[in-house]
Amino acid sequence: MAVFVLIHGAAHGGWCWERVAPLLEARGHRVFAPDLPGMGADKTPHGELDAETWTSFLVGLMRSIAEPVILVGHSRGGMQISAAAQAAPELVRRLVYLAAFVPCDGQNNLALAMEFCSAELMQGAAAAMGGQGWTEGHAESAFYNTTDDEWAARAKSMLGPEPMTTLMVPASLSADRFGSVGKVYIECLEDRAIPLAGQRKMQEHAAFDRIIQLPTDHSSFYSAPELLAEALCEAAAIPD
């Protein structure tokens, strides 16, 4: 059995894994789905976050677990799992990118978003960062286009602001540390936030042991939790 650490993406919190975590636990896995500092229910002021806050948080969490973990990053969370693997590769059994950013050394979140995210997502993010919230259906359209209406509405009601301080932090990745960790990419084929072409282009930034496809929107944890749980179990079953 595996230990999964599930890392949410921009504007979300650990709450977004609520349909998937029980399915993994029912299969005998241990699951951690934390709020990153300043996100979800964590009330750390965004002004107190710096380049190392999220990485230090993840490394500390992994050190508290008795075995190497499968570190799963959704969307912007791909940047966080990459940084954590660079910092402590011995604590990571495998990285799983779920429709996620895969940075090159030196890239930051803003550069990745500008190149690979859809116009719909960028417009919604600009409104949210401007204090207007996720307006004009941008969240439903970009994040939840194959998600049932009730789950999409629940998710949208829980979205929060994304800290500006994290946008410009460049990835610092090396072949002997980040490159030494096995990687899986889960594509979301109906994704309107990070369209499939962008997901596949970012896969060129690293070596992947397996590519898994899901016929879902950007938020497969809500639109197809059973399929996502199966995909994560498949990733866990790959020989180390």
Per-residue pLDDT of the chain (240 residues; tens, 9 = 90+): 999 999 999 889 999 999 999 999 999 999 999 999 999 999 999 889 887 999 999 999 999 998 999 999 999 999 999 999 999 999 999 999 999 999 999 999 888 888 888 777 766 565 555 444 444 446 667 899 999 999 999 998 898 888 878 888 899 999 999 999 999 999 999 999 999 999 999 999 999 999 999 999 999 999 999 999 999 999 999 998
> What is the structure's pLDDT at 26?
98
Given a contact cutoff of 8 angstroms between Cβ atoms, the answer to whether 64 and 153 are in contact is no
CATH classification at residue 212: 3.40.50.1820
> What is the structure's pLDDT at 135?
45
Per-state percent for the chain, helix, strand, coil, to nearest 5: 45, 15, 40
> What is the structure's pLDDT at 127?
52
- CA 185/CA 143 separation, integer angstroms: 18
Q: What number of other Cβ atoms are within 10 A of residue 186's Cβ?
A: 25
- Tokens 């030196």 appear where? 106
CA angle 21, 26, 27 (to 5 degrees): 100
Domain containing residue 119:
3-237
Alpha-helical regions (H) of the chain: 21-26, 53-63, 77-87, 109-116, 119-129, 138-143, 149-158, 196-202, 220-223, 225-237
How much is the pTM?
A: 0.95
Query: Count of domains in the chain?
Result: 1
DSSP-assigned letter for residue 178: G
DSSP string, 21-65: HHHHHHTT-EEE-PPPTTSTT----GGG--TTHHHHHHHHHHHTS
> What is the structure's pLDDT at 131?
43
